[in-house]
């Protein structure tokens, strides 16, 4: 079995962060989302992975992931010249996939466990497709499945006005080679893309066996700021291991599960976990509250930060309270101490500020 990870797209829902970087590399608990996907695939015993990249952000993905040696696997990069839909991405990877069955994993999706049992179930039952589903409160915003009592998929509908169920398609699929035949039979949707829901529905029309698995764990599509912060909080809460390699002075107080990388310095500060702080960062006269991730080479002085993600090389100074914030790389935020209490901002397109 092989795997493909979709890591293209423009990341419009995470702008302005994604103007200068790939959304799949935005960190959750100081680790790129894409790396969690690769970890999950490798733990399932799959060592032949293709990563679908776009011309715009492909080189950044290549630089971050490399040749796969850190996971002990081989990685092939496949360029999708245009955002033509998930089924189009499979078509783009046709030569790499050949006649192998494969996992398709969306590179901005996180689930609360490994995919080993799904791969085992696929290999045992040998359907043409195994799709993962999750109950959601807003099924109109997703591809939705109608399934039989036995778990066989009856039909799929993309963002229906009247959903037949509340079971949304999770961004992880397992296919046999039959999906290629189905893709060749479908036409682009109204938005001009080859939809994976249409391809799976075509398998059903072809009387091929499409099975489902309803997740009883958390699933997050990290496409928006609030989704990113939720993912960060859940991963810190469930997976963070305590590890302090930093220099912590006697005036500081660390409570709960906290991980701090080497070269970092904690001075006269209080840190209440779960919190992760990267390498060579400085926290001084500050409070770092629960569910916060701080990257490498970050400086926080005289500030209070909670439930936030602060990416590499940023600086926060004299902020009374920063919470529920997603701060990109090399961002500088300081308080104005002059008598003229004006806001002075330089913001890019699609920025959002609450004051």
Task: Tell me: do 176 and 284 sit in the same domain.
Answer: no
* 61 in any annotated domain: yes
* 18 in any annotated domain: yes
Task: Tell me: do 287 and 212 sit in the same domain.
Answer: no
Number of domains present in the structure of the chain: 2
pLDDT digits (tens, 9 = 90+) for 203-248: 999 999 999 999 988 888 776 778 889 989 999 999 999 999 999 9
At a CB cut-off of 8 Å and minimum separation 6, what does 230 contact? 220
Is residue 288 within 8 A of residue 268, CB to CB? The reply is no
What span, in angstroms and rounded, lies between the C-alpha atoms of 271 and 180?
A: 52
Task: Tell me: do 180 and 307 sit in the same domain.
Answer: no
pLDDT digits (tens, 9 = 90+) for 69-107: 999 998 999 999 888 899 999 999 999 999 999 999 999
pLDDT digits (tens, 9 = 90+) for 11-36: 444 444 544 567 888 899 999 999 99
What span, in angstroms and rounded, lies between the C-alpha atoms of 187 and 204?
A: 16
pLDDT digits (tens, 9 = 90+) for 246-293: 999 999 999 999 999 999 999 999 999 999 999 999 999 999 999 999
Task: Tell me: do 213 and 263 sit in the same domain.
Answer: no
Task: Tell me: do 298 and 164 sit in the same domain.
Answer: no
Task: Tell me: do 186 and 58 sit in the same domain.
Answer: yes
Task: Tell me: do 187 and 244 sit in the same domain.
Answer: no
Running DSSP on this structure, what letter comes out for residue 65?
A: H
* 162 in any annotated domain: yes
Range of the domain at 110: 2-224
Mean pLDDT of all residues belonging to the chain: 89
* 229 in any annotated domain: no
* 307 in any annotated domain: yes
Domain harbouring 16, CATH code: 3.90.550.10
User: 0.85 cut: is pTM over it?
Assistant: yes
* 355 in any annotated domain: no
Domain harbouring 313, CATH code: 2.160.10.10
Domain termination residue (choose one: 163, 192, 224): 224
Task: Tell me: do 88 and 127 sit in the same domain.
Answer: yes
Task: Tell me: do 202 and 134 sit in the same domain.
Answer: yes
Task: Tell me: do 271 and 161 sit in the same domain.
Answer: no
* 254 in any annotated domain: yes
Domain termination residue (choose one: 194, 224, 254): 224
- Assign residue 59 a region (left: φ > 0; alpha: ψ between -120 and 50; beta: otherwise): alpha
- Give the DSSP letter string of 123-157: HHH--SEEEEEEE-S-GGGSEEEEE-TTSBEEEEE
Task: Tell me: do 209 and 294 sit in the same domain.
Answer: no
Task: Tell me: do 275 and 220 sit in the same domain.
Answer: no
* 346 in any annotated domain: no
């Amino acid at each position: 079995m092989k795997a493909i990870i979709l890591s293209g797209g423009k990341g419009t829902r995470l702008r302005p962060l994604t103007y200068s970087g790939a959304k799949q590399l935005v960190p959750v608990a100081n680790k790129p989302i894409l790396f969690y996907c690769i970890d999950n695939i490798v733990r399932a015993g799959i060592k032949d992975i293709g990563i679908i990249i776009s011309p715009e952000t492909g080189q950044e993905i290549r630089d971050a992931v490399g040749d796969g040696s850190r996971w002990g696997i081989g990685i092939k990069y496949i360029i999708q010249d245009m955002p033509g839909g998930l089924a189009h991405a499979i078509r783009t990877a046709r030569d790499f996939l050949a006649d192998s069955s494969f996992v398709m994993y969306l590179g901005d999706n996180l689930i609360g466990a490994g995919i080993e049992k799904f791969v085992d179930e696929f290999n045992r039952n040998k359907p043409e497709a195994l799709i993962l589903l999750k109950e959601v409160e807003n099924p109109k915003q997703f591809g939705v499945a109608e399934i039989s009592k036995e778990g066989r998929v009856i039909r799929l509908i993309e963002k229906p006005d009247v959903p037949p169920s509340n079971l949304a398609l999770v961004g992880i699929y397992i296919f046999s080679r039959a999906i290629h035949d189905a893709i060749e039979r479908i036409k682009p949707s109204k938005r001009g893309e080859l939809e994976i829901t249409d391809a799976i529905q075509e398998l059903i029309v072809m009387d091929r066996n499409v099975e489902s698995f309803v997740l009883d764990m958390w699933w997050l599509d990290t496409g928006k700021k609030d989704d990113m912060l939720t993912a960060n909080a859940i991963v810190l809460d469930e997976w963070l291991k305590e590890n302090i390699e930093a220099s912590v002075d006697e005036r500081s107080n660390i409570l709960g599960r906290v991980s701090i990388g080497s070269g970092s310095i904690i001075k006269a500060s209080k840190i209440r976990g779960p919190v992760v702080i990267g390498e060579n960062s400085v926290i001084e006269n500050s409070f770092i509250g629960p569910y916060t991730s701080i990257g490498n080479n970050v400086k926080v002085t005289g500030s209070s930060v909670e439930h936030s993600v602060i990416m590499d090389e940023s600086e926060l100074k004299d902020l009374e309270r920063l919470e529920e914030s997603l701060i990109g790389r090399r961002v500088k935020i300081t308080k104005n101490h002059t008598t003229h209490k004006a806001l002075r901002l330089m913001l890019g397109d699609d920025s959002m500020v609450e004051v």
